Structure 1
Amino acid sequence: MAKTFKNLEEYIELTKQVVIANRNKGNRYSEILSSLYADPVHFLDEILQNAEDACARIETLGYIKINFDVNGIAIYHNGDPFNEADLIAITTYGKTTKKQLSNINKIGKFGIGFRSVFGITDRPEIHSGEYHFAITDFELLEHIEPKAIPVGYTTYFWFPFKKNISSRVLWDDVRLWDHRFILFLNYIYKVELVNQPNNENYFIEKIITDDDKIIVIKSNLPECLSEENYLLISKNNNKQKRLSIAMSLDKNETRNPLFVFFPTKETLNLPFLVHGFFTTTPTREQIPWDNKAVKENQILLKQLNNLFKNFLKELRKRALLTPKLYEAFTLTNHTHPIEKLWTEQWIDFLKIDRSILTKEKKYLPPALTALPKHKSLVELIPANALNKLWNKKAWIEPSILDYPNITELIKKELYIRIIDERDFGYAVKELNLNKRYKLKQIELFYSLLAE
C-alpha cells in the first residue's frame, strides 16, 4: 500500500531518495515510460485533458492558450488551480486524482499522461495558485521562483525545449491538429494557438446553439472550414460524454479516427466520428478489444449499439437520410469491431423501421415501398397503381439506384418488391394505363419489354 504523506514536503524528500536510489541502480523506467509516445504533439492532448478536468472540478467553462516561442511553449488555462494531491499525482507513476473518471483510458487511470511532456522538455514548470515547481529527473518537484500568471488564467505551464526539438517542426505538426476533439470536451470551449516568432495566431472554438444536438466549431486552422456544424448525439455519465457520435453537416468524410477524447491510431470507415471512454493502451493509440481483463470496452460496445439506433432515428427525424448518406453508411469492408456493430445496426434499422426514403421525400418501412428495376418505371407506373396491384404506398427514391452498395444491400437484405418491365406490362393490361401515355412513353415501354 502506498504511503500517505503528512504534507507535500515529506513527499518531495522521499522522492529525492527514490531518485538517488534509481540512479545508483541504473533504473530508467521513468525515462522509458516518458518516451512511449510516437506522436510529438501528444503532450498537448494530455495538457488539454488536465485543463478539462480542472475546469470540471469547479464546473466552469474553460479556455486554454498555447504560446510557442523559439525556446519553449507556454500554456495557460483557467481551471481549478493545482493542489498538493495533483502535484503528487503527476509525479507518481500509477497515481491519479481522477476518481470520478474510473472508466477513462489507462493513461488517465495510471498517471502516465503528463509524462508525455518529457518528449519535448527535460524540465517542465508548473505555476498554479500558490505552487511554483519544476519537475526534474521525471518525478522530483523542485521549488522555483514564481512567474506571473496572466490575468484571466489560473495555471501556467512552461516547457523549455530540449536541444533536439525544433520549434518550427513542432508548430507545423500542431497546425495540423485534429481540432474536432473539442466536440467531446464538456468544459473547454476555446483553444488559442499562438506562434510569436512567426506572428501566427489560430483558434478553435465550440459554439453551443439553441438546438441542443447541434454544435458549431469555428476555426481558422489550415484545411478547416471557418464554421462547421455538427450533429452530436451522446450518452452522458456524471456530466461527461461517455459515448458520442458526431457527424459534420457541412463536409463529407468517409474515414475518421476513433476518438477517446482525442484521436487514436484506429481508423473507422464511417462518415461520422465515434468517441468513447474506451480503455486504451498506455500510448492512447490503440484499444484492446479482445482483452478479457478490459471488460469495460465490451460494455461500451453494447451501449454504443443503442446510441447508433438513436443516431439513425435523429437523422430520420431531421430528414438527413439522403441517398448519398445511405451509400456512405453501407460498408463493403467492416473488420473493426465498431464497423461490424454499425453494419448490424444499419441493416436492422433498414429492415424494421421507417427507414426507406421515398420519391415523395418521406420515410416508410421497406414492406410498403417498391424498388424499380429501371428508373423510368417510376414515371410510367403511378403510385396509385403500385397500391392497387402490389399494396405498395410509394416508390423508393429513384436516385438511390445511382449508388451500387446500398442498392445491392436493399436487394439482398430487405423484403422489397422489385418492379420490372413485366410488371409494367401487367399494370398496363390490368389498369388500362396505355390511354394515359404519350408516344414517347410508349416507345420507352417497348424498349423495356425488349430488354
Structure 2
Amino acid sequence: MYSLTNRPEIHSGDEAFAIDTFVWPTSVEPIERTPTQTKIVLPLDVGDEDAQAEIVEGLQDLGPRTLLFLRHINEISWMVGGTPAGLYFRDDPKIVGPGVRQVSLMGQQDGRDIEERWLVFSREVTNEGTPVGFVEIAFSLSLDSGATRRVLPLSDSTLVVFFPTVLSTNTGFLLQGPFRTTPSRDNIPVNDGWNKQLVGEASELLVDALRWMAAEDMLDVNALQSLPLQRDRFTGNLLAPLFDHLANALQNEPSCHAGSCLRLRERRSAIANARLAGLVRLGTAWKGAEVRGSRVVAQPRHHGRPNTHAPSVFYSRAPHLRTVP
C-alpha cells in the first residue's frame, strides 16, 4: 500500500482516520458512506502514472475467495473513473450443522463470472481463557445440484490467516486460523508455540469434519484426495499433526472400525462397505496412503519401521479388498 500512497485513510464504523508516517493515526473528516460500509481512500502519489492500473490489477487478482473466512465483510466492489469495475460478494452462510456452514461466493474476474461453493468447519479457540477467533477447515464443493454434496480437492492450498500466506499445507482443503505471522504477514513462524497449538486444534477439527462428512455420505474418492494421507509430506513439518491425528483416528476409534467414520463411495460404481480404516489392520502402524484414480493405495508399517515385504493394499472399484505385490 505504501508504494502507492503516503497517507491512506480508513473510514469504518464510527472511525475516520489517516495513517501518517506508517504508524501514526490522525483524525480526518468523515466521507459519505452507508453505516455498514468500510471505505479505504488512497491518495495517490503525485507523478505515479502506473498506480491506478496496478490497483485495478490487484483488485482483480483478489478473487471472491478472499471473502470466505471474513465474518464482517460480505462484499468487495470498486469503481474506476466513476464507473463500476468489479464486484465480489458472499451470500449469507447456510448453517448445516454445529460449527458447519455452507458458503457461496460470486463475482467477476478477467471478464468472466465466478461462483464457488464451500463447506466450512469451525472451532473457536482461546488464549488464556479469552476467545481469539476460530480455526477453520474449508472444502471446495461441486456446483452440481445433487442431493449429496461433493468435495472437489484443491490442487494447490496455502495456509490462510484471513488472507493467503505462502506456506503450502500439502492438503486439498483450506486451513485458516489466527496464526502469528511474520511482519510481512505472508508467512508464519513454524516454531512458535501458539501456532503449534492452533495446528493441534485444526487436527482435531479435521477428524470431526471427517465424521460429519461420513454421516452425510460425502467421503468419495474426491474427498479422500483432499486428505493428508502421505506421511512423507508431513514428516518434520509444522502441519504433521494433521496426518498423525487422521492416522490415529483410523487406527483406534471404534467408530472408524465400525465403518461409520469413513466410507468410500465412487459416484458411478459404488465401493460397497469398503473401509479405509481396514487398511491399518494389516500392520501395527500406518505409513500412509495415496488415492490413484478410483482406488486407495496404502503402505503399512510394522513396529514403526517400513515393512519392505508387506504388499501394498488398495480398494478397487470392486467391493472386496485386493492386494498387489
Deviation at 1:184, TM superposition (A): 1.7
Deviation at 1:240, TM superposition (A): 6.3
Deviation at 1:282, TM superposition (A): 1.2
AA aligned opposite 1:280: T
> Which residue in 2 is equivalent to 1:209?
94
Q: Flag the 1:120–1:245 CA change in 2: closer, same or farther, 3 A.
A: same
Q: Does 1:319 align with 2:211?
A: no
Q: 2:138 is matched with which residue: 241, 246, 250?
A: 246
Deviation at 1:357, TM superposition (A): 2.5
C-alpha separation between the residues in 2 aligned to 1:122 and 1:320?
Answer: 50
C-alpha separation between the residues in 1 aligned to 2:117 and 2:52?
Answer: 33
Q: Secondary structure at the match of 2:185?
A: coil
C-alpha separation between the residues in 2 aligned to 1:416 and 1:408?
Answer: 9
Summarize the alignment of residues 288-367 of structure 1 with structure 2, pairs less than 5 Å apart. 288-290=189-191, 294-329=192-227, 330-331=229-230, 333-334=233-234, 337-352=237-252, 353=256, 354=259, 355-357=262-264, 359=270, 361-362=272-273, 364=275, 366-367=277-278
> Which residue in 2 is equivalent to 1:189?
74
Deviations along 1:44-92, whole A, 9 cap, x unmatched? xxxxxxxxxxxxxxxxxxxxxxxxxxxxxxxxxxxxxxxxxxxxxxxxx
Q: Is the 8 A contact 1:246 1:273 kept in 2?
A: yes
Deviations along 1:190-237, whole A, 9 cap, x unmatched? 222333366522222243125252222222234987332211111124
Q: Flag the 1:193–1:323 CA change in 2: closer, same or farther, 3 A.
A: same
Q: Flag the 1:341–1:368 CA change in 2: closer, same or farther, 3 A.
A: closer
> Which residue in 1 is equivalent to 2:121?
233
> Which residue in 2 is equivalent to 1:45?
none
Q: Is the 8 A contact 1:370 1:418 kept in 2?
A: no
AA aligned opposite 1:269: N
Q: 2:2 is matched with which residue: 105, 118, 121?
A: 118
Q: Secondary structure at the match of 1:188?
A: coil
Q: Is the 8 A contact 2:196 2:238 kept in 1?
A: no
Deviation at 1:266, TM superposition (A): 1.0
Please provide the CA RMSD for this pair: 3.9
Deviations along 1:154-178, whole A, 9 cap, x unmatched? 6543211124352112211221115
> Which residue in 1 is equivalent to 2:40?
157
C-alpha separation between the residues in 2 aligned to 1:126 and 1:327?
Answer: 42
Deviations along 1:92-114, whole A, 9 cap, x unmatched? xxxxxxxxxxxxxxxxxxxxxxx
> Which residue in 1 is equivalent to 2:58?
173
Q: Flag the 1:196–1:277 CA change in 2: closer, same or farther, 3 A.
A: same
AA aligned opposite 1:298: K
Asked which structure has the greater CA Rg, the reply is 1
Taking only the aligned residue pairs, the percentage that are identical comes to 20
> Which residue in 1 is equivalent to 2:185?
284
Q: Flag the 1:191–1:410 CA change in 2: closer, same or farther, 3 A.
A: farther
AA aligned opposite 1:357: L
C-alpha separation between the residues in 2 aligned to 1:224 and 1:409?
Answer: 44
Structure 1 or 2: more helix by fraction: 1
C-alpha separation between the residues in 2 aligned to 1:343 and 1:142?
Answer: 48
Q: Is the 8 A contact 2:63 2:88 kept in 1?
A: no
Deviation at 1:285, TM superposition (A): 1.3
Deviation at 1:369, TM superposition (A): 11
Q: Flag the 1:224–1:362 CA change in 2: closer, same or farther, 3 A.
A: farther
Q: Is the 8 A contact 2:75 2:87 kept in 1?
A: no
Q: 1:137 is matched with which residue: 21, 24, 30?
A: 21
Q: Which moved more, 1:127-136 or 1:186-195?
A: 127-136
C-alpha separation between the residues in 1 aligned to 2:236 and 2:10?
Answer: 40
AA aligned opposite 1:189: N
Q: Secondary structure at the match of 1:160?
A: coil
Q: Is the 8 A contact 2:299 2:313 kept in 1?
A: no
Deviation at 1:307, TM superposition (A): 0.9
AA aligned opposite 1:220: Q
Q: Which runs of 5+ in 1 are unaligned?
A: 1-116, 372-399, 420-451
AA aligned opposite 2:299: L
Q: Is the 8 A contact 1:370 1:417 kept in 2?
A: no
Q: 2:85 is matched with which residue: 200, 211, 228?
A: 200
Q: Compute the TM-score of the two structures, normalised by the length of structure 1.
A: 0.51
Q: Flag the 1:210–1:232 CA change in 2: closer, same or farther, 3 A.
A: closer
C-alpha separation between the residues in 1 aligned to 2:113 and 2:160?
Answer: 20
Q: Secondary structure at the match of 2:62?
A: coil
> Which residue in 2 is equivalent to 1:380?
none
Q: Secondary structure at the match of 2:172?
A: coil
Deviation at 1:264, TM superposition (A): 1.0
Q: Flag the 1:335–1:417 CA change in 2: closer, same or farther, 3 A.
A: closer
Deviations along 1:270-294, whole A, 9 cap, x unmatched? 110000111111111111122xxx3
Indicate the structure whose relative CO is greater, using CA pairs within 8 Å and at least 6 residues apart: 1
Q: Flag the 1:215–1:407 CA change in 2: closer, same or farther, 3 A.
A: same
